[in-house]
Amino acid sequence: MDPVLLARIQFGLTAAFHFLYPPLSIGLAWLIVYIGWRYLRTGEALYDEMVRFWVRILALIFAVGVATGIAMEFQFGTNWSTYSRFVGDIFGSPLAAEGVFAFFLESTFMGVLILGRNRVSKRVYWFSALMVAIGSTLSAFWIIVANSWQQTPAAYTIVDGRAVLTDFWAAVFNPSTLPRYGHTVVASILSGAFFMAGISAWYLLKGRHVGFARRSLAVAVVAAAVFSLAVLGVGHFHAVQVAQTQPAKMAAFEGLFKTESGAAMVFFGIPDVGNQAIRLRIAVPKLLSFLISFDPNATVAGLDQVPRSVWPPVEITFYSYHVMMLLGFYFIGLSLVGVWLLWRKKLFASRPYLKVMLASMLLPVLALEFGWIAAEMGRQPWVVYGLLKTADAASVVVPAGQILFTIVMFVGIYSLLLALLVFLILREVRRGPSPLSGAANG
């Protein structure tokens, strides 16, 4: 057994599992802020009922997200000690900032949301929801700063084999931070909107809590339409950044083996790395060049610009990128149909649409996972782009058997956590919102 491969599998599994929860937390938190704001403006008890229900769901997701995120930080010291020595001077700062400026803010006011509804005024309660949303979004910022520095290192010098920080803010706002952060946050709010829409659709299909479900679905569908279109725009700027700073990754995204002028954008295909071709290719001519450079004849660098030894794994990068992209177009179509049905006053009675929305409620989270896989596999074989290879970053003293044991342990514990979370969410959904005295619910 290769300890480096096992360490990569372990980190990939734990990161993928943890990454299920922060997007939903961020998305639901901002939707709760909006619903709470509507309650402050209108005084309608139904909005208060909505806030109380969605806070209960948010609290469950937040708790599991925190529990699953801790393990990854320990892995840096156990399985990736060479990496930790190399980037510790830089990587530690954003992680510390995440804890001090974001996590404590989010956790403190989450306590108010869970325990303080009948102890604070409705304005203080709404302010607490806002702080939770800001805290979760700031938390994502610092984590993405740390990851982005590995994608596009900046503001450092190498001293005795270690990367030493020379300018904190230049490192924070390295070339990929803002495009990646914007892409992730917008996609997270989209994930929360689909999650809220799916549960609301289930209530309408069952004929339960109809007033609550109608109002929640309307909010969620409009948010989904807005943010699915926003993902398309922000994702475009992110892709342009990748093409400019990590051209080999962009070439792997598109299966572009040779540098081309007027490069086509591939929507479907099967990469054949041995023959350096895309089989069964469905592509739009010149579109990739146009989207990257606003010039249909612009030259786009292919994989032939870098040695074969530093090519990313093309197949998994290509497939994960295209699944993410095609799901993005699906989200736009589904949410725009929802807005059209809402405008025609047919949304709440359209059972086919409600069933499709219910079945699609977790697909944005899946799209985020595929996007993360594409981003991380696309930078291989580098763990720090152009500076440190993944194979050279692992610990040399941790035997493979110990890593394998912890993989089995993580899979077992995380499976139990996921089963517990699903059970608790289903219990809350079956219990439903608690109608308040005098609330309109029909």
Give Cα separations from 61 to 57, 281, 289, 333, 367 (angstroms).
7, 40, 41, 27, 18
| Helix or strand run (H / E) with residue 156 | strand 156-159
∠ CA 88-93-99, rounded to 5°: 120
Q: What length is written for the chain?
A: 442
Element (H, E) at 347: none
CA distance 249 to 382: 11
Counts of helices then strands in the chain (DSSP H, E): 15, 8
The SS3 call for residue 151 is: helix
Signed CA dihedral, 348, 349, 353, 356: sign only: positive
pTM here is 0.92
- DSSP H/E element including 304: none
Instruction: Please state whether beta strands 265-272 and 156-159 pair in parallel, antiparallel, or not at all (unpaired).
Output: unpaired
Contact 374, 324 (CB under 8 A): yes
The per-residue pLDDT for 398 is 78
Q: Which residues contact 200 (CB under 8 A, 6 or more apart)?
A: 212, 213, 214, 216, 217, 220
**What is the full DSSP assignment across 372-391?**
HHHHHHHTTTEEETTTEEGG
Cα dihedral 311, 141, 363, 38, rounded to 10, equals -160
Please report the pLDDT score of residue 435 as a whole number. 62
Within 8 A by CB and 6+ apart from 205, the residues are: 351, 354, 355, 358
* CB neighbourhood size of 321 (10 A): 26
Q: Per residue of the chain (442 residues), what is the pLDDT tens digit?
A: 788 888 889 888 998 998 899 999 999 999 999 999 999 999 999 999 999 999 999 999 999 888 887 777 777 778 888 888 888 888 888 888 887 788 888 888 999 999 888 889 999 999 999 999 999 999 999 999 999 999 999 999 999 889 999 999 999 999 999 999 999 999 999 999 999 999 999 999 999 999 999 999 999 999 999 999 999 999 999 999 999 999 999 999 999 999 999 999 999 999 999 999 999 999 999 999 999 999 999 999 999 999 999 999 999 999 999 999 999 999 999 999 999 999 999 999 999 999 999 999 999 999 999 999 999 999 999 999 999 999 898 887 778 888 889 889 889 999 999 999 999 999 999 999 976 544 444 3
Distances, alpha carbon 128 to alpha carbons 15, 63, 120, 123, 292, in Å: 28, 17, 10, 9, 41
SS3 46: helix
